[in-house]
Amino acid sequence: MKLLLAFLLLAGTLTRAAEPPVYWLLWFDTEDYVEPASDDAALRLAQDLTQRGIRATFKIVGEKARVLEQRKRTDVLRALAAHDIGYHSNYHSIHPTPAEYLAPMGMLDGAAEFARREEQGLRDLQRIFGVTPSCYGQPGNSWAPQANLTLRQWGVPVYMDDGSHVAFDQQPFWYGGMLYVFNLGPHTMRTGLDNPAGLDTAKRSFDAAVAALRQRGGGVAQTYYHPTEFVTTEFWDGVNFRHGANPERSSWRMPRRRTAESSEQAYRLFLAFVDHVRQTPGVRIVTARDIPQFFEPRDSAAPPAAARRLAESIDAHDGHSAAELLLTLLGLPAQYVDGPLRRVDSNYAAAEIPRAAWVRAVADAADFVRQTHRLPDSVAIGSQRLSLPDFAATLAGVEPGAPVARVRRGRLDQEKRIGSNAAKLYDWVIHPAGFAPEGLMELARLQAWTLKPARLR
C-alpha cells in the first residue's frame, strides 16, 4: 500500500514536471517625459513588483531616461534597474515617428536612418543602466521592418510589442532575424484599471489563455501597461502630438490626472491581477532577456523534403522559414539571411530553361547569398530573369539530372501573415489622419521570407 502510494506520488510529480511550460511576460512602456507624476508611478510599480519577487521588463524611451536624470530621480532609476530594461525609441511621439521617417525609404537606407535617429537613446540607456536593452518595441503602432536590421547590429535580440503588422499563430516567431513577441492575440491580456468588476473577467481570460497554451504544448502570454496610465486619464502624447502636431517643448500641456483614489484603485486592480498570475501553478514569470533561452536557436538547417514544398507554396514549412528552405536547395549552410530588397517580376519568356543555363543561375544565386547575406530580388537567366519566388519554386520542383528546368510560378502564401491594410495598421492618434505607409508594408511582405514560428525547447 505504502509502495503504491509512493508510486502514485511519484507519477503525480512526473506528470506535473512534464506539463507544457507557460511563460508570462509583464512589460511597461515607460515613456511619459511630460508629466512628472509618471516618474512616481514607475517607481511604485517597480518597487511593488520587486517586493513580490517579480521581474518585469521596462521598455524605456531615451528621453524619459534623460529626463529622470535631469530631475535627479535616482530613486526611480535604481528601482527600474532591478528589472529588465528594454528600449522604446528615442523620443516616442515627437514627429517624425519611426514609421513617418521610414515610410519613403527602402531597407538599407531605412536601417541607417533608424540608427541615426534612435541610437542616442540606446546609448543613453546603456550609460544609465549599464546594460544593453534586452528588447525593442515601437512607439504606438509606428512599426517599420527596417528597424530589425539595426536592432541586430546593436545586439538587441528581441522585438517585444503589440501590433498587427506581422503574425504567426498568435505565438512568438522569428522575423527579420529577431525573436518577435508580438501579435499574440488572446494570449495578450490585462485587467482594466478603472472597473473592479473587470478583474474577474481578466483573471478568467488569463486562465483560458494558460489552458489553451498548455493544450498546444506550452507557449507565451503577455500583459502590458504604461506607468503613466496609473496617474493620468489621458495619454501625455495624445494631448501634445495628436495627428501630426509638433508643438515646441515650452508649450507642451500636461495630461489630465487621476484623483488619488482613482490611482490607488488602479494599483490595487493591477496587483490583484498580478497576484492571480503569480499564484497560477506552472506559470513562469519571465523577462524579455530570459525569453530567447526557452526557444530553439534561430538558425537551423532545413531538410530537403521540407525545402521541396516551396514548389507549391512559398511559406514556412516544418518550422523553417522560406529563406532557410531556399538555402537548403542552394546547398548553403544554415544561417540567417534577409529577404529581398524589392519586388521584381519575371520576364523569362520560355517555359523551360536549358540545363547549363539553369546550373549557372543556381550557382549565381548561391554566390549572391554568400556575399550579401540576403536573398536576391531576382535571378538572371542570361539577359532575362526569374523573380525570386519563381526561381525558388522552379528550383524546388526541378528533377535531379533533368535536361531542362521547367519554370514554375511561386505562390507567395507567406505574405498572408503580413497585415494588409496600412491605414488601419498605422491608425494611431499621433500619426497624421489617413497615414497609410504602403511602402513599409511592401517591405514587410518582402521580409516574410525570414518568417517562421519560434519553437519552444
Of the pair 23, 28, the CB lying nearest Zn ion is at 28
Candidates 23-31, 336-344, 385-393, 426-434: pick the segment binding Zn ion (CB under 5 A). Answer: 23-31
Task: Single out the residue of 28, 23, 285 nearest to residue 179, CA to CA.
Answer: 23
User: Is residue 31 a contact residue for Zn ion (CB under 5 A)?
Assistant: yes
Q: Taking phi first (over 0 means left), then psi (-120 to 50 degrees means alpha), and beta for anything else, what does residue 201 get?
A: alpha
Q: Which is nearer to Zn ion, 141 or 450 (CB)?
A: 141
Q: Are 25 and 181 in contact (CB under 8 A)?
A: yes
- Smallest distance from the beta carbon of 409 to Zn ion, in angstroms? 42
What would the grid cell of residue 14 be? Answer: 512526473
Cβ proximity to Zn ion: between 162 and 415 the closer is 162
Q: Does 63 bind Zn ion (CB under 5 A)?
A: no
Stretch touching Zn ion by CB under 5 A, among 25-33, 230-238, 304-312, 362-370: 25-33
Site for Zn ion in 106-165 (CB under 5 A): 139
Whether residue 95 contacts residue 241, with contact meaning beta carbons closer than 8 Å, is answered with: yes
CB-nearer residue toward Zn ion: 32 or 324: 32
DSSP tag of 436: -
Least distance in Å: CB of 244 to Zn ion? 17
Region from 21-29, 43-51, 214-222, 444-452 binding Zn ion, contact rule CB under 5 A: 21-29
Options 24, 27, 28, 29; binder of Zn ion; rule CB under 5 A: 29
191 vs 228, beta carbon nearer Zn ion: 228
Smallest gap from Cβ 140 to Zn ion, in A, equals 6
- Cell numbers placing 413: 502564401
- Torsion angles phi and psi, residue 366, rounded to 5: -60, -40
Q: Is 35 in the site for Zn ion (CB under 5 A)?
A: no
Burial label for 455, CB within 10 Å (0-12, 13-18, 19+), is: middle
Exposed (0-12), middle (13-18) or buried (19+): which is 250, by Cβ within 10 Å? exposed
Count the site residues for Zn ion by CB under 5 A.
3
User: Which is nearer to Zn ion, 88 or 320 (by Cβ)?
Assistant: 88
Residues 6 or more apart whose Cβ sits within 8 Å of residue 235: 32, 226, 228, 255, 429
Binding residues (CB under 5 A) for Zn ion: these are 29, 31, 139
